[in-house]
Structure 1
Amino acid sequence: MISAENRVIAASLFAGLCGLIILGIIEVVIGLPGQWAFVIAFLLLVLFGAILPQLYLLKIDQSVSRTSRLGVVTLVLIVLAGEFSDGVSGTELTVIWALVGITIALVVITELREGYRQSAWNEN
């Protein structure tokens, strides 16, 4: 029997694949300026391949720590951004790494806030 976590990840990757197919069709029919198709593909892969499934699993499965789930998101972001950096330049490259920086900053802020809440709770 397939675990709930594997089903969530598989469904999310399937949704991301469908998004990439639709992006490919739009690129062929209409075309996107510059290298923005790479940026949109990066967003689709990151959202459906890492962020959404991990956040959903964070809510429904408490057996894995929050830090581990957010660490997976951070690692996937950095690896995918490194791979997509080879195909883009200029503004598109800046946008990809800015998105990575913003996401990592949000992860750090979330962890700091949670740590502060736990330490304040333990003091009382």
Structure 2
Amino acid sequence: MFIEHLAIWCTDLEKMKTFYCSWFNATANTKYFNPVKNFSSYFLSFEKGPRLELMEMPGISNNLNDLLKQYKGLIHFAVSVGSAEEVNRLTEAMRAKGITILGEPRFTGDGYYESVVADPEGNRIEITA
């Protein structure tokens, strides 16, 4: 068994697609649209691992999580960029573009080298070596 994909409800589908494709080299499929539900989505593929589904539909409530607090439930996902140097480079490039850095690059107690950033809609992403 394996995780096939994860999904994120979005407010601005195109902005989110651009973020993940630009920063994490994701490739988007052709936009899916269901006119009955007014539902749109993209599946983003990465070099390896699960896909990320970005979804948009009117009437979906906002997430009430606070970026600075932790809550039960799915709280983040990690993207491996291959090296500590790339974690540092990507974190600094994102900082320069105004992306929120939630956790500075560091070694964690369980041996990961990571930083934590927020995507344009406030979802936490760990950038790992």
TM-score (normalizing by structure 1): 0.27
Q: Which has the larger radius of gyration?
A: 1
TM-score (normalizing by structure 2): 0.26
Point out the structure with the larger strand share: 2
